[in-house]
């Protein structure tokens, strides 16, 4: 194969946002390994180590050749000593002993199963594992008190851990579009997240909603979710008023009005899910179970549960919101880091700011009464994301 260390060759950027990264790449054997090690680090709240493996995975995804010997990695950034050791192991033995060990470990498996429950983060899962719980099924028998979100997570565990297909995402998009247009004609619904990047499957459906006339989008989320509820489509939701702050697992949060929801999708993609179920008129109260023990999968039931994020944004911020919600996570992280370190600017899903720019208060529709002033949360002193 061609030498990779040619000084004439352009250097690979250490910023994911400056690397062309194909959907199907050539180094899956290595990125699968770094994914496991990143997860395992995150499960022990070693954020730095987790991030290092995420960065390694990201750069490996961008390589236009399959790594076949260590020399191929000369000049490739973002690969620490540990990552290189794992790659070497895989090149020599076909597998990494360390990764195999993690995959076999009881703790990793239990953490993976429990953090797979919607509404369960690393801290909670870790506490449960130390108490001896291993699976979502154990949660039901142990009599642990669950939040409403976790209850929904357990109820729909199988469905929510079954990848959402592109066709299903489009069908959800159509349902939401129909609802939005009946409430607010002219509003725009855009499929974002992994599907916007061309992925064929994902863990959820991310929809960004706006209206070309600034301000018209106000109050839309409540009407939209009421409409979905009245159609029997809304299985669960939690609304975030846009109070801001940082997400624990999912990166920086923005200040948009947003619903973390679970929607019901009928058997035929695009088909209506049928009339509201008796007793199911209020989201989260539905009694039908998608059991975590295996009897409750979508097959035969005629519908499946899908995680959907509904995000409302004012039109003036739409470009930034679209950019911020398209991902990937590593691309977004590095785009913000690039803005900050290379351009002395600050980027988020609301806008791009000059560092020294004095922040003007945001338009009133961006903040809820309970949230701190946006100018504070966008403070220049916040560390690079």
Would you state the torsion angle of the CA atoms of residues 100, 105, 111, 114, taken in this order, to the nearest 10 degrees? 100
Q: Which is nearer to ligand DGT, 232 or 362 (CB)?
A: 362
* 28-43 and 122-130 helices, crossing angle to 10°: 70
325 binds ligand DGT (CB under 6 A): yes
| Alpha-carbon radius of gyration of the chain | 22
Q: Among 219, 212, 201, 303, which residue's Cα sits nearest to residue 257? A: 219
105 binds ligand DGT (CB under 6 A): no
Binding piece for ligand DGT, criterion CB under 6 A, among 136-144, 165-173, 203-211, 270-278: 203-211
Binding piece for Mg ion, criterion CB under 5 A, among 68-76, 203-211, 234-242, 269-277: 203-211
Write down the least CB distance from residue 255 to ligand DGT, Å. Answer: 9
Of residues 327, 334, 336, 365, which one binds ligand DGT by CB under 6 A? 327
- Contacted by 324, from Mg ion, ligand DGT, none: CB < 5 to 8 Å by type: ligand DGT
Does residue 88 contact residue 108 with C-beta atoms inside 8 Å? no
Q: Among 291, 294, 249, 292, which residue's Cα sits nearest to residue 133? A: 292
Does residue 330 contact residue 229 with C-beta atoms inside 8 Å? no
Of residues 50, 153, 173, 202, which one binds Mg ion by CB under 5 A? 202
284 binds Mg ion (CB under 5 A): no
Does residue 233 contact residue 264 with C-beta atoms inside 8 Å? yes
Tokens 């959800």 appear where? 172
Contacting residues for 104 by C-beta, under 8 A, at least 6 apart:
none
Q: Which is nearer to ligand DGT, 149 or 332 (CB)?
A: 332
Question: What residues act catalytically?
Answer: 204, 206, 309
Phi-psi label, residue 244: left if phi above 0, alpha if psi -120 to 50, beta otherwise: left
253 binds ligand DGT (CB under 6 A): yes
Contacting residues for 283 by C-beta, under 8 A, at least 6 apart:
225, 229, 234, 235, 236, 237, 261
Report whether the peptide linkage leading into residue 379 is cis, meaning its omega lies within 30 degrees of zero: no
193 binds ligand DGT (CB under 6 A): yes
Of residues 247, 302, 361, 363, which one binds ligand DGT by CB under 6 A? 247
How far, in Å, CA of 10 to CA of 5, rounded?
Answer: 10
Write down the least CB distance from residue 16 to ligand DGT, Å. Answer: 11
Q: Which is nearer to ligand DGT, 178 or 309 (CB)?
A: 309
Does residue 113 contact residue 153 with C-beta atoms inside 8 Å? no
Write down the least CB distance from residue 184 to ligand DGT, Å. Answer: 23
Of residues 30, 332, 338, 347, which one binds ligand DGT by CB under 6 A? 332
206 binds Mg ion (CB under 5 A): yes
Mask: binding to Mg ion, 160-199, rule CB under 5 A, as x and -? ---------------------------------xx-----
Write down the least CB distance from residue 31 to ligand DGT, Å. Answer: 15
- Residues lying near ligand DGT in the complex (CB under 6 A) are found at 193-194, 199, 202-204, 206, 247, 250-254, 324-325, 327-329, 332, 349
């Amino acid at each position: 194969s061609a030498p990779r260390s040619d000084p004439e060759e352009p250097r690979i950027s250490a910023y994911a946002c400056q690397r062309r990264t194909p959907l199907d790449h050539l180094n899956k054997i290595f990125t699968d390994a770094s994914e496991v090690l990143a997860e395992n680090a995150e499960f022990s709240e070693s954020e730095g180590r987790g991030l290092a493996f995420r960065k390694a995975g990201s750069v490996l995804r961008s390589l236009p050749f399959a790594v076949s010997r260590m020399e191929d990695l000369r000049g490739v950034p973002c690969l620490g000593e540990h990552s290189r050791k794992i790659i070497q192991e895989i090149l020599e033995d076909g597998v990494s002993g360390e990764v195999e060990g993690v995959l076999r470990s009881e703790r990793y498996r239990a953490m993976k199963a429990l953090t797979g429950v919607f509404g369960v983060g690393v801290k909670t899962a870790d506490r449960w594992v130390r108490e001896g719980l291993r699976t979502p099924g154990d949660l039901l028998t142990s009599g642990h008190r669950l939040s409403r979100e976790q209850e929904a997570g357990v109820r729909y565990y199988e469905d929510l851990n079954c990848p959402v297909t592109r066709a299903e995402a489009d069908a959800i998009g159509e349902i939401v579009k129909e609802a939005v247009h009946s409430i607010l004609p002219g509003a725009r619904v855009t499929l974002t997240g992994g599907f916007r990047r061309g992925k064929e499957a994902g863990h959820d459906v991310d929809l960004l909603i706006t209206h070309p006339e600034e301000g018209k989008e106000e109050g839309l989320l409540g009407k939209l979710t009421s409409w979905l509820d009245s159609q029997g489509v809304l299985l669960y939701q939690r609304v975030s008023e846009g109070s801001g702050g940082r997400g624990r697992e999912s990166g920086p949060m923005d200040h948009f009005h947003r619903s973390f929801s679970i929607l019901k999708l009928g058997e035929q993609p695009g088909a209506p899910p049928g009339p509201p179920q008796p007793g199911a008129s209020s989201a989260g109260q539905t009694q039908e179970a998608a059991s975590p023990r295996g009897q409750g999968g979508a097959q035969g039931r005629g519908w499946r549960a899908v995680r959907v994020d509904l995000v409302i944004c004012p039109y003036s911020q739409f470009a930034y919101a679209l950019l911020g919600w398209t991902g990937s996570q590593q691309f977004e992280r590095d785009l913000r880091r690039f803005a900050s370190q290379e351009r002395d600017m600050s980027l988020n899903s609301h806008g791009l700011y000059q560092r020294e720019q004095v922040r003007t208060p945001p338009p009133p529709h961006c903040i809820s009464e309970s949230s701190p002033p946006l100018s504070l949360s966008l403070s220049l002193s916040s560390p690079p994301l």
